[in-house]
Amino acid sequence: MEKTFTKNVKQALNNPVLRANYRKALDALAEKRKTAFADISLELPARREAAYALRLNSLHKLPELLSQLEQKLNENGIHVHWAQTPQEANQIAESILRQNNAKKIIKGKSMITEEIRLNDYLEEHGFNVIESDLGEFIVQLAGEKPAHIVAPIIYKNKEQVAKLFAEKLNFHGSSAEELTHAARQFLRKEFYSADAGLSGVNFAVAQTGTLCLVENEGNGRFCTTIPPLHIAFMSLEKVVEKFSDVPLLYSMLCRSASGQKITVYFNMISKPRQKDEKDGPQHVHLIILDNNRSTILSDPLLRKTLLCIRCGACMNNCPVYTNIGGHAYDAAIPGPIGKILMPQIAGMEKYGHLATASSLCAACVEVCPVKIPITDILLKLRAQATSLKNLSFKQRLYSGKLAEKIAFMLWAYIFSSPLRYKLFLKMLHAFPALIPLKVRFTPMLRQWTKTRDFPMPR
């Protein structure tokens, strides 16, 4: 996996158009965020603190909140299903779809369905899945993956989208308005003919059993009201205690994500269609996914990974993400939050290397609306990854982990004694001319001198 990452990074760094697309779009998003908080800049620290406390409180009470949520939803006629793994979640969705004889499925934007690779699973099992969020629709049309959790097509510019529409939809237009209109026309008929609508959940309120869905395009409302069946997906940390918890988190989410004070649509789903109602799905299901989150919860620091409300501000402000783009991470959730979440939900073997790909600049920590200590968590994951336990001798050598450990042991041996340190300095300053030679033979330092001159001791 680290090899794939290195390869992806190389590819991205050698693609000037891609990097320019990212730079332009992310600068705009970062600026929008700043402007959005301008009217409450004095209150911002207090609001972040409040949002953090509120989310942490939910995590502390998670088991009871989840059972309260289940009970309320059941009372309201929404079926609740529990999935331990992505595979289980996919199978549950499949069986609900089959029971309802649903073949054509329209989807709202949802990152958790990316995490479980639901589209791939359903398509392999003969279902027809259509993404209805404009960005996700374009991603699907291109046969690619979303590169950002809020702005999936951030890597494409308008011209590239126009070209794609010409190829795939035989639509010829160039302005954003024209392209959006074409997608809208295409999707409109799909909403009416779909057998089921799928969505994510932004906040699930335990007190009232309400599923809140935040969106701008109205496609989420279409997906959750027109087809006869609605299946919602959430990971278990999405639950909040009270309805009064929602406004603050909603406001922090909108301002941080898109620089809006409020989104165009805010959906509150609490029941399937009632007898006297003319619209709404007859059946509503909620699939709640664990995917190792219950283990993460047991550690007081790592737990804070789950505070996330998926605003994407960390990636918009991340210099690594800006340079390499979302696809390089090869992960459902990229960027700083992905670096701490992916190794924990999908395994250190697969994603451990992401934790090392940070300069610890903490730009993400500065903007996180719920104050996730991303750098502290990165450091903890790095510390866990230095352990050589469970590695074969070959793995230790091959991964370079043993070499790194020995290098730091040697470093500690010298730097923990003033005498040895002085001796080391004497040698360094006595033979500076030898340094370039030494550097050439030190594999670690060679990575420095590949692109940079070595600073000569003065």
Residues that bind another protein (CB under 8 A): 9-10, 13, 319-320, 323-324, 356-363, 365-366, 376, 379, 381-386, 404-405, 408-409, 411-412, 415-418, 421, 425, 428, 444-445, 447-448, 450-458
What is the nearest approach in angstroms of another protein to the Cβ of residue 295?
20
Question: Smallest distance from the beta carbon of 449 to another protein, in angstroms?
Answer: 8
| Residue (196 or 357) nearer to another protein, CB | 357
Report whether 335 contacts 19 (CB < 8 A): no
CB of 214 to another protein, least distance (A): 28
Task: Identify whether the C-beta of residue 293 lies closer than 8 Å to the C-beta of residue 333.
Answer: no
* Residue 285 near residue 78 (C-beta atoms within 8 A): yes
Smallest distance from another protein to CB 359, Å? 3
* Alpha carbon separation from 240 to 13, 245, 309, 357, 404 (Å, rounded): 40, 7, 11, 32, 43
Q: Tokens for 158, please give them.
A: 């308008």
Q: Which one, 65 or 320, has the nearer CB to another protein?
A: 320
Question: At its nearest, how many Å lie between another protein and the CB of residue 445?
Answer: 7
CB of 59 to another protein, least distance (A): 20
Q: Whole-number minimum distance, CB 384 to another protein, in Å?
A: 8
Task: Give phi and psi for 232, each to the nearest 5.
Answer: -105, 145
CB of 21 to another protein, least distance (A): 15
Nearer to another protein by Cβ, of 248 and 362: the residue is: 362
Enter the DSSP assignment of 267: E
Q: Is the dihedral of CA 271, 274, 280, 281 positive or negative?
A: positive
Report the relative pairing of strands 104-107 and 78-83 from DSSP bridges.
unpaired
In the complex with another protein, the residue whose CB is nearer, 172 or 420, is 420
Residue number with CB closer to another protein (44 or 182): 44
Q: Shortest approach of another protein to residue 403 CB, angstroms? A: 12
Query: Based on CB atoms, which residue is closest to another protein, 126 or 455?
Result: 455
Strands of the sheet with 210-215, listed across from one edge? 239-240, 203-205, 210-215, 265-269
Measured from the CB atom, the residue of 9 and 169 that comes closer to another protein is 9
Q: And the tokens for 309?
A: 């409300």
Task: Give the strands of the sheet with 196-199, arranged side by side.
Answer: 78-83, 283-289, 229-235, 196-199, 104-107, 128-131
Residue 376 Cβ, how far from another protein at the closest point, in Å? 7
Structure tokens at 319: 């210099």
Q: Which two tokens stand for residue 203?
A: 């906040």
Neighbours of 95 (CB within 10 A): 11
Q: Is 398 in a helix, a strand, or coil?
A: helix
Smallest separation, CB 198 to another protein (Å): 35
Q: How many CB atoms lie within 10 A of CB 217?
A: 21
Nearer to another protein, 187 or 357 (CB): 357
Other Cβ atoms less than 10 A from the Cβ of 6: the count is: 13
**Smaller CB separation from another protein, 120 or 404:** 404
Q: How far is the CB of 334 from another protein (least distance, A)?
A: 14
Nearer to another protein, 122 or 357 (CB): 357
Neighbours of 117 (CB within 10 A): 15
Please give the radius of gyration of the chain, using alpha carbons only, rounded to the nearest integer: 25
Q: Do the Cβ atoms of 253 and 311 come closer than 8 Å?
A: yes
Q: Which is nearer to another protein, 210 or 358 (CB)?
A: 358
- Beta carbons of 162 and 70 less than 8 angstroms apart: no
Continuous H helices in 37-85: 44-60, 62-75
- Residue 329 and residue 4: Cα distance in Å, rounded? 9
Which of 75, 366 has the CB closer to another protein?
366
Q: Which residues contact residue 405 at a Cβ distance below 8 angstroms, ignoring those fewer than 6 apart?
A: 386, 388
Contact 372, 56 (CB under 8 A): no
